[in-house]
Chains A and B, each alone.
Chain A
């Protein structure tokens, strides 16, 4: 029999509740159930990984058989993988201000309908709101005798409004997700905001593309942090040679004073009490005073690459752990919003995010704002729409000329390797010099 150098088992049993309201019609409102287990075994060389439904991980016989099968699978691998030692600890999960399980589906539906209906203001042609709730029971054990279990509760919603006038359609969208309780009460203002943004955008102009000074609001600056720095600092990409940040530890890659952090221990949407390999999580400073300081690692990439902090392995249920961000942000600087706008003088103010993407090997990223305003003489003037921003990882952090003092975190989901995990991103307002703005205005 082939040697098993290490194994771990991660089992997630869960319930997912989804409510979907479309133009006042309750399209669906219900709960589904899953129970997925991933068994990983390290053979003489690389990983053998099995995924199964409802495994009884208390059955020694079942576990042994799965570990043996995973080890057999690993026989075809050639890459020599080793695991670094890492500290173990389980953080307490945040207390729930209100447990969503104690609220019935009717009440959740009624509250969501309240948020959806206020988005329906004149000229709004369609409104849609979705509530998502996930209750995950996670159990982890490994061949070193480590064993953890915890429960993760997530609750949140998104609301979308589409305004329409003479064949022109524009959207406004808001979302809020938390890990600290039930999240549908007192949120009508977000529905209203989605409606108002959609209608305002009917009169917005197309942004003109080119290099200019740009002010990023905290939400978009958070996505900037995630796309421009976060992914490229992930240890697996560094190990594979797929990141422009490889070999740059200790180098000045951004302006002095810039601090960029990933912190899975914060009680934001990307919180995890322990990582998916049973490793303790802690605040990791990726960039300190403009200098690249740490990569984000799991045990495997820490052993292979070094220069960083483990505890960043995460997994969607039924998928193997990979290196991921959690709560990623730029620390506050000392500029006020008014100072940033005044310093910008003429440029563009970008607000909210429609998502982004990065090619970390090429070092190029792109993301899209929900809307923006032209800045003229330090004042926000005409509204613009469909404006994106692209840049290069190795130069863009030097172009941050002012860092605000008003950091805010925004929840979202991040996709990598076919897996989606909850994250949050944030930053204070930022002023970027020579930002590459994409837009189709002439």
Chain B
């Protein structure tokens, strides 16, 4: 079946049977080169296409998706059937076209989705890792390009491209492991050799390690460790749906000084990043959103349906993952605050990553996780590796008592953030 003109057909047919219809298509191609036994072992190429349809009738929202263009009518029927069951809600209409939209740099025009290029980058990863005496236990390179189209019966017809270049490597020396990665829409941002070197260095330098006694210590979370705790706890608490449903710790705190007075948290969809986009998953123009300024909670994130339901404006925060229904999320979330060049003053424990961040309590913010690649930091220098230990705390309390932010901003998925120093944290030694 020809996919050209399919969206128009769906909108035309759907409009006869519902008040409004929206169709979203993603077409993508990606390649990946995977490392096995320290050399290239698998070459993959994937092509995918999916269409998701939303229908609105009398304030009831229906949804379905399909990976087969020939089954578009079945998909439309399923969307309408699901809408008949959904609870009716306040609804003010799908967006109309915006003529003054920003552009967002989301794709690298020069990125070639080619297995030969991915294989070449794997060679660089391995060359970087070879700088330290370690074994390679996994990793690889992914290159991908996708084309997204969103159209609705109010005349919206947007399209955009996304690209991704990603490299990762995991190394081991005896029982010491090191994992590093990087991913960006822009190939030039990725230095596979540096990723390989960093992973190997971590595994090598973490070998052995001192015992640490249970107690309170100053801790420096790397951007990776900070991102996994913040991503699992802070981001859901900023979702307007969670706020209105009574599932957010931050629900009744708008306008309050909730965090450290230098903390700034904002979504910047128009800057280059993994989530850069000019329009959100509902077709609403995106904008720069400041959630936390000088530690004061300024706003929450809303999509169209949650906005209409609770009398709030959409903040252009609808995000789509593959063929799923759009939900509230962030595009390019930036965490910023008072930077200090002497993050490692005195004596502290640095934490590269954590094991088990997803087991945190997303509502209370409490967590206790295993820490990976910890080191003693003395006057700014990593001295000795530490043996395994746990870190226990509460993310909302941590963000109130930040000692400082490093100068080392890093992209981790849809987050950009530096390392964070927190004093007097609870470490459980073994």
Contact = CB atoms under 8 A, between A and B. Distances in A.
Interface of A: 22-23, 25-36, 46-54, 69, 73-79, 81, 105-106, 109, 125-126, 128, 162, 164, 168-171, 206, 209-211, 237, 239-242, 244, 318, 320, 354-359, 361-368, 385-388, 390, 392, 436-440
Given A126-B247, A357-B356, A33 B363 contact: no
A164 to B, nearest CB: 6
A440 B368 contact: yes
Contacts of A128: 245, 247
B366 interface: yes
A25 B40 CA distance: 50
Given A28-B86, A50-B45, A242-B137, A22 B245 contact: yes
Interface in B34-64: 36-37, 39-50, 52, 61-64
26 contacts: A27-B87, A28-B86, A29-B86, A30-B85, A32-B52, A36-B48, A36-B67, A46-B42, A49-B45, A51-B48, A73-B115, A76-B40, A76-B116, A78-B39, A79-B36, A171-B363, A209-B390, A209-B428, A356-B359, A359-B372, A361-B172, A362-B175, A362-B388, A366-B355, A385-B361, A440-B394
A22 B247 CA distance: 11
A78 B35 CA distance: 10
In which size bucket is the chain B interface? 35 or more
B63 A77 contact: no
Interface stretch (B71-79, B269-277, B294-302, B411-419): B71-79
Given A36-B67, A49-B43, A162-B246, A242 B85 contact: no
A34 B41 contact: no
Nearest to B394: A440
Contacts, number: 258
Nearest to A23: B245
B198 to A, nearest CB: 17
B257 interface: no
Contacts of A47: 41-44
B138 interface: yes
Interface in B105-142: 115-116, 119, 135, 137-138
B170 interface: yes
A438 B82 contact: no
A240 B367 contact: no
B43 A359 contact: no
Contacts of B68: 33, 35, 53-54
A29 B388 contact: no
A77 B43 CA distance: 7
A436 B49 CA distance: 47
Nearest to B369: A366
B249 A169 contact: yes
Contacts of B428: 209-210, 436-438
Interface centre among A47, A54, A126, A240 (most CB of B within 10 A): A240
A30 B364 contact: no
B312 to A, nearest CB: 16
B79 A30 contact: yes
B323 interface: yes
Given A48-B43, A241-B137, A30 B369 contact: no
A362 B177 contact: yes
Contact of A388 (B75, B177, B368): B368
A440 B45 contact: no
Contact of B64 (A32, A52, A211, A385): A32
Contacts of B176: 362
A121 B119 CA distance: 57
Given A25-B87, A126-B247, A77 B369 contact: no
Contacts of B47: 50-53
Contact of B355 (A125, A241, A364): A364
A32 to B, nearest CB: 4
A170 B71 CA distance: 44
Contacts of B43: 46-49, 73-77
A319 to B, nearest CB: 9
Contact of A30 (B63, B172, B366): B63
A33 B49 CA distance: 12
B84 to A, nearest CB: 9
Contacts of A33: 64-68, 71, 74-75, 78
Interface centre among B74, B79, B245 (most CB of A within 10 A): B245
Given A240-B137, A242-B172, A51 B355 contact: no
B16 interface: no
Nearest to A106: B85
Contacts of A318: 46, 48
B134 to A, nearest CB: 10
